[in-house]
Structure 1
Amino acid sequence: MANVLKKAMAGLFDKMLTSATVSDVKFWNPSTMVEIEVHLPTLETQKWKTIHRVKCRVGDLEYRDYTPSCWDPEKGTFKIFAEAGHDGAGSRWAQQIKAGDEILLGAVHAAQIPSKEGRILCLVDLSALGHVLSLKQLTDRDKFPLDVAVFLHEAYHIPEYLSEKNPEFEFLYQENENNIRVMEQWLMSKKLANYESICIAGNTPMVSQLRKKLKGITEVEARIFAQGFWS
């Protein structure tokens, strides 16, 4: 009975989703990071004021949330960055997807962006790359300068176009090192009193620990925005 009910609910949910086309797929080196360009011209990205999330159907009765980023309103496209290094429905979907595929997705929720002008410190892991790219696209660089640390779970070769377009992004990888320790070392190298906002996103335990660390530092007066995505 439970499976029948689950299938019925999934069928209803699928009817609420929108069909979109995959226009391009790029695999990083190693290939466990997948960059998916989606064509959905009816999505009014030019009106976005918050960091959006979409729920994608990745298999039978399986759905995963991703953050659209790098959108182009004229072309009607945006990108999804999916880490696919673990065994799960989302990983299998991302590894098998190809240009020309039809996918189902729908908006689920959004995250607020800083409203107070001033420098923003961003602490994210690679699963939240889309989140911080979206934040960058939604804010004015003159009013909201960014300093960004992105923790890598593997020794990825960062695509040249990505690093060139985002010189304020520092990609951090230390073999056999804990993500929290690496991020704490990086943030403590900064003059934290200079920031009006601090954004943390990615692995939930990392987000929780970094937020706790920052709350205990007296020189931090910034508003902290925290988004945990997975554990």
Structure 2
Amino acid sequence: MEKFNFKNIKRKAGKLFENRLQAARVLEVRYWEPSTLIEVDLHMPFADIAKWDEVPYIKFKVDDLTFRDYTPSGWDAETSTCTIYIDAAHKGAGSTWARQLETGDTVSYLKIGSTYHKPVATSAVVALGDESSMGHLLALQKMVLPNTRFSGGLVIDNEHHRRLFHEYFWSPLEPVARRDNFGHHSLMEWVLQQHYSIENTVFYLAGNNIMVTQLRKMLRQQGYPSGQIKVQGFWS
């Protein structure tokens, strides 16, 4: 009789996941100097990109039995391509995987899901996030029409990355300097300077879990109803 130890269980679980994986090809990898932010273009021939009508996420395999979710910032259904941004400023399986990617590599993903973030019909759609949610916020911007309804703040620690964001994108998103560890105080200070109306403003929060949780609490204290605050937290 086969001995069922932890290694056997892990091996069997790995085979189950492998049977469900889809493949994508790396078209290009670009590093923002300093290289703690990595931009990756992907060809995803098995993805039904035309159905991405909510901000999606892709669950990539980054190591054995280890997966990380990344949000495509933009996509083209005709060419089956998309771009993801990876915050590699911290140590972790996702950061290690991203730093090893090269043009022509094949990467595996388990599934494509929805974050259920989709702009509602209101005059002010406000996105708030950090480096880990750059792709998420840019994807939301892509969906807001007319684009004059969209604005937001993106807390970025590195000053050079803030400048690069302005250079690379046409976006109403404003890079905000990080003055606290998780970024919620910096973003709340920025929000208060904008004087948003309580009646018709809907906030979309995405980023590290602590920032998202605390920022939601701060917005509620300012009088914004919970129904006008959409959240998507990421583990760091």
Structure-1 separation of matches of 2:48 and 2:163: 28
- For the 8 Å contact 1:163–1:169, the answer to whether it is kept is no
Out of 97, 119, 128, the position equivalent to 1:123 is: 128
Matched, 1:37 2:46: no
Matched, 1:205 2:210: yes
Show the counterpart of 1:137. Answer: 142
Gapped runs of 5+ residues in structure 2?
Answer: none
Out of 165, 175, 180, the position equivalent to 2:169 is: 165
Question: What does residue range 12-31 of structure 1 map to in structure 2 within 5 Å?
Answer: 12-31=16-35
Show the counterpart of 1:4. Answer: 8
What TM-score do you get using the length of structure 2 for normalisation? Answer: 0.88
- Number of residues paired by the alignment? 229
* Aligned-pair Cα RMSD in Å: 2.1
**What is the Cα deviation at residue 115 of structure 1?**
2.4
**What is the Cα deviation at residue 75 of structure 1?**
1.9
**Match of 2:193, SS?**
coil
Out of 65, 71, 77, the position equivalent to 2:75 is: 71
Q: 1:208 to 1:149 in 2, by over 3 A?
A: same
**What is the Cα deviation at residue 12 of structure 1?**
0.9
**What is the Cα deviation at residue 164 of structure 1?**
5.3
Q: Is 122-131 or 176-185 further displaced after alignment?
A: 176-185
- For the 8 Å contact 1:180–1:210, the answer to whether it is kept is yes
**What is the Cα deviation at residue 106 of structure 1?**
3.0
**What is the Cα deviation at residue 175 of structure 1?**
5.9
Runs of 4 or more consecutive aligned structure 1 residues displaced over 3 Å after TM superposition: 158-165, 174-178
Show the counterpart of 2:94. Answer: 90
- For the 8 Å contact 1:152–1:173, the answer to whether it is kept is yes
**What is the Cα deviation at residue 11 of structure 1?**
2.0
Structure-2 separation of matches of 1:86 and 1:178: 13
**Match of 1:109, SS?**
strand
Structure-2 separation of matches of 1:129 and 1:213: 21
**What is the Cα deviation at residue 160 of structure 1?**
5.1
Gapped runs of 5+ residues in structure 1?
Answer: none
Out of 49, 58, 65, the position equivalent to 2:62 is: 58
Give the letter for the 2:188 counterpart: E
**What is the Cα deviation at residue 2 of structure 1?**
2.5
**What is the Cα deviation at residue 57 of structure 1?**
0.9
- For the 8 Å contact 1:82–1:94, the answer to whether it is kept is yes
Show the counterpart of 2:53. Answer: 49
**Match of 2:138, SS?**
helix
Show the counterpart of 1:189. Answer: 193
- For the 8 Å contact 2:133–2:206, the answer to whether it is kept is yes
Q: Is 113-122 or 46-55 further displaced after alignment?
A: 113-122
What TM-score do you get using the length of structure 1 for normalisation? Answer: 0.90
Out of 215, 225, 229, the position equivalent to 1:224 is: 229
